Amino acid sequence: MKAIIEVRNLIKRFGHKQVLRKLNFSVQQGEFVALLGSNGAGKTTLLRILSSLSKPNYGEIQIAGYYLPGQAAQVRKKLGVVSHLPLLYGDLSAEENLKFYGRLYGLSDFQNHIEEILQLVGLLKRKKDLVRTFSRGMQQRLAIGRAIIHDPEVLLLDEPHTGLDQDAANMLDTLLQEIASRGRTVVMTSHDFPRVANLATRFDVLYKGKIHSSKLAKDLPQHGLLAYYQSIVDEIDTGGGIQDAA
């Protein structure tokens, strides 16, 4: 099966600091991959490169049959991107925000589609309300609606639970599970191990600019995700040099 995301020998430097070090990363259609790693490991940098917001210094990147950075416009049509910043217009209603982004993607006759998305993210009854009146959790759910307005093949999520209370985070989890069940490919960074343990189908450990290990959820050891992650980090730090990533 051909991967929908294929990254080979990716290098990214900021000045003299090398953040990504010949990183390899591959994702199949329909996978939900959680990227795990400490601050500074390179998770956000990788997602910014995949979303065409940053250019690599070296390496080959292919998404849905198109190459970055040369075919960035085509890649963007295949992507939905969500970060801890919702990127919404507070003085527009939920419905108006989705209409605005729908037009940006060149969609037409999409009113029914907008209502379907608002229903999916649990905001249909609030469609006429200004976004600035929404809670943080509601804004993040609408941000996901914004990201999927054009029916992208791949959804990239950078710490989407940041700043959410427990109830809002649980609602976001339900939404992400629903989106994943519809066959979309999801790549998400997170520090919240208990939460992603119930969401992702695969876990990749990104450490010091490389993906050092990849494990399917069904193959996780009984001691759980946090213990698996810590065992990988400990082995790297003691010179084990694990490299069994996809």
pLDDT digits (tens, 9 = 90+) for 87-139: 999 999 999 999 999 999 888 888 889 999 999 999 999 999 999 999 999 99
Which tokens go with 217?
A: 């959820």
CA 39/CA 43 separation, integer angstroms: 8
- Integer Cα distance of 242 and 236 in angstroms: 6
Please give the average per-residue pLDDT across 216-231, as a whole number: 87
Confidence of residue 1 (pLDDT cuts 50, 70, 90): low
Question: Could you state, in order of their start, the residue ranges of all structural domains in the chain?
Answer: 5-237
Question: What pLDDT is stored for residue 243 in this prediction?
Answer: 44
Residue 143's closest CA among 124, 117, 166, 125? 117
Cα 146 from Cα 143, distance rounded (Å): 5
Q: Is the pLDDT of residue 244 over 80?
A: no
Q: Is the peptide bond before 221 cis (omega within 30 degrees of 0)?
A: no
Contact of 203 with 215, CB cutoff 8 Å: yes
pTM above threshold 0.85: yes
Confidence of residue 20 (pLDDT cuts 50, 70, 90): very high
Question: What integer best gives the mean pLDDT of the chain?
Answer: 91
Res. 54: pLDDT tops 70: yes
pLDDT tens digits, residue range 130-177?
A: 999 999 999 999 999 999 999 899 999 999 988 888 888 888 899 899
Structure confidence at residue 39 (pLDDT): 86
Give the per-residue pLDDT at 191. Answer: 86
Name the CATH superfamily, with its identifier, for domain 5-237.
Answer: P-loop containing nucleotide triphosphate hydrolases (3.40.50.300)
Query: What percent of the chain stands above pLDDT 90?
Result: 71
